[in-house]
Amino acid sequence: MIITVSAIGCLMILGLIAFFYWLYVPYMKAPKLSASIEKEMIKWDNYERTYLSYVPRSVVKSSKPGLIIVLHGSGIDGDRIRQWTGYEFDQMADDHNFIVLYPDGYKKNWNDCRRNAPYPAKKQNIDDVGFLTSLVRKYESGYGVDPQKVFAFGYSNGGGMAYRMAIEQPQLLNAIAAIGASLPTPDNFNGRIDNITSRIMLVNGTSDPIVPYEGGKIFFFGQNFGYVLSARATAERFAQAGRAVKVKDAVRLPHRVESDPSSVDQEVWLREAEPVVELYTVNGGGHVVPQQTARFPRLMGTVTGDLDAPREAVRFFKLSTGSSEMRVK
C-alpha cells in the first residue's frame, strides 16, 4: 500500500512537472492604452455571443477608422488570443486609428471552412459567418468604420474561420491574415474560392506539431480534424483565384538574434504590381503567432524572432505608415 501511494505521488509530481514545462504560460500584463477594453454581447441566431472590443480614444465617426477582427484558435478565447498576440493590436490601434474586436467562438471553437470537424461549433452548424458579419455592420453604423478597411486576423481554427469569411463574404473583408492554418483538402472543404477578392497573408511553421507544413492529417489530442493542403499549395490556390503571379525567388528576412534556430522566408504573388498573396515560411517554427513579447506553451513549438506577425499583418492591411518588411525583388 505504501508503495502504491508513493507511486501515485510520484506520478502526480511528474504530471505537474510536465504540465508546467510543456503547457503552462504565465498571464501577461496588459499595457497602458488610451481607452479601456470592453466586454460586450450581441444576440445572434438565438445565442448570446460575446466579444472584447477596443476603440481608441482617438477614433471618431468622421475619421472612418479601420476594423480588425482577431479570431482565436480552438480551445481558447478572445482574451487569450489578445495576450498571445502580445497586446500588439491594441497598441497599434492607438498608433494608427483603427478598432480591434476579439470575438469568442461557440464553446471556444469556430465553424470554419472544413466540412467536418469534431467540435461543437461545427457539429451544431453555428452561424459564425452571420455573427461576424453582424459585428462588422454594427461597427460600420455605430463608429463609421470604412467598409474598405475591414480585415480579419486568425490563428489556427480562427485562421480557418478567416478563410471561410473571405470565401463566403468576398466583399466584406479587404484582406485576411491566417496563422498556422491551411486549406482543407477537397474532400473536407466547405466552399469554393473562385470568387474571392480578399488579399491573403499566410504564416506557417515547418515544424508545426498540429498543422503539417507539407500538408496531411491533423490529429490533435486524439481527435481527427481531417486533411489539409500544404502551406504553399494553400497560397498557390488563393493566388490562382486572385489571378496573381508569383515573384520568382523567396526572400530570407534578416536574422535578428544569433541564437535563434529559426529563420523566415517570404514569397509574394502579385497582380498588377500589388501583393495579393504573401506566404511567410517559418523554418523551424511551431504552431504559434510569431511576435516579440508573448510566450506560448513549449508543446506548440518555436516562436521565431525574425517576424512579428501582428505588425506585419497591419502593414499588409495598409493600416500602418511604418516601414514595410516586404522584400519583393
The domain spanning residue 113 has which CATH number? Answer: 3.40.50.1820
- DSSP letter assigned to residue 106: B
pLDDT digits (tens, 9 = 90+) for 214-243: 999 997 767 788 999 999 999 999 999 999
In a domain, 21, yes or no: no
What angle separates helix 309-316 from helix 88-96, to the nearest 10 degrees? Answer: 30
Q: Side chain identity at 3, as an amino acid letter?
A: I
The SS3 of residue 105 is coil
- DSSP letter assigned to residue 288: S
Helix (H) or strand (E) holding 275: strand 274-283
Q: How far apart are the first and last CA of the chain?
A: 71
> What pLDDT is stored for residue 26 in this prediction?
67
Location of C-alpha cell 505521488: 9
Of residues 292, 326, 302, 262, the one with CA closest to residue 92: 292
In a domain, 69, yes or no: yes
State which residues form the domain around 174. Answer: 31-316
In a domain, 64, yes or no: yes
> What pLDDT is stored for residue 7 in this prediction?
59
In a domain, 112, yes or no: yes
In a domain, 117, yes or no: yes
In a domain, 10, yes or no: no
Q: Is 160:113 a contact under the CB 8 Å cutoff? A: yes
In a domain, 322, yes or no: no
Longest dimension (CA), the chain: 76
Q: What is the grid cell recorded at 243? A: 489571378
With a cut of 50, which residues of the chain have pLDDT below it? 1, 14-23, 323-329
> What pLDDT is stored for residue 20 in this prediction?
39
pLDDT digits (tens, 9 = 90+) for 86-140: 999 999 999 999 999 999 999 999 999 999 888 999 999 999 999 999 999 999 9
> What pLDDT is stored for residue 3 in this prediction?
56
In a domain, 70, yes or no: yes
> What pLDDT is stored for residue 180 in this prediction?
98
Q: Is 58:86 a contact under the CB 8 Å cutoff? A: no
Number of domains in the chain: 1
Partners of 205 in the β-ladder:
282
The SS3 of residue 24 is coil
